[in-house]
Amino acid sequence: MTRNKQTPLFLKSYDNLSQVLVDKQLASLGDAYINFVYSLALSKRKGKPYGAKVKGTTLAEALRKAGLRTSLPSRIDRHTISDAAEAVVVYAWLHNLLSLEDSVQTIAEADIPENGLTQLILKAKEKIKLSKLVPVPC
């Protein structure tokens, strides 16, 4: 995969979505992205500023519901599954496939925030698929 001209300088190239999902460094940046987006969404929902950290169990469940669990090795712990959720969402944002505003609105407007996270991962997956940056399974 050649480097896309839109790729941020600090991102390496990936051959497929699984490589994105298991990138722990990308996940550590994604952790900061998701916590910020989630905090803004909850601020909107509650009508006052609110800071929140998304639980790993919540992220792992959202990744499963978004159908991406099968793109990961079968024998991994829940922490690695939640890392994958953080990695895929920030990967989409870093490539301008998903905006901060859209990310926040997706969680703010969901019936419950947890389902908003699933929707956010689904959006990231769909946008990456359309971009053809890396192959994405159906």
* Positions in the binding site for its own copies (CB under 8 A): 8-12, 23, 25-33, 35-36, 38-40, 43-44, 46-52, 90, 100
Nearer to its own copies, 43 or 119 (CB): 43
Nearer to its own copies, 15 or 137 (CB): 15
Counted residue by residue, the chain has a size of 138
CB 55 within 8 A of CB 122: no
Nearer to its own copies, 52 or 67 (CB): 52
CB of 15 to its own copies, least distance (A): 17
CB of 74 to its own copies, least distance (A): 26
The alpha carbon dihedral of 16, 22, 24, 26 has a sign of positive
The string of DSSP letters for 60-94 reads: HHHHHHTT-GGGS-SS--HHHHHHHHHHHHHHHHH
CB 95 within 8 A of CB 7: yes
CB of 138 to its own copies, least distance (A): 27
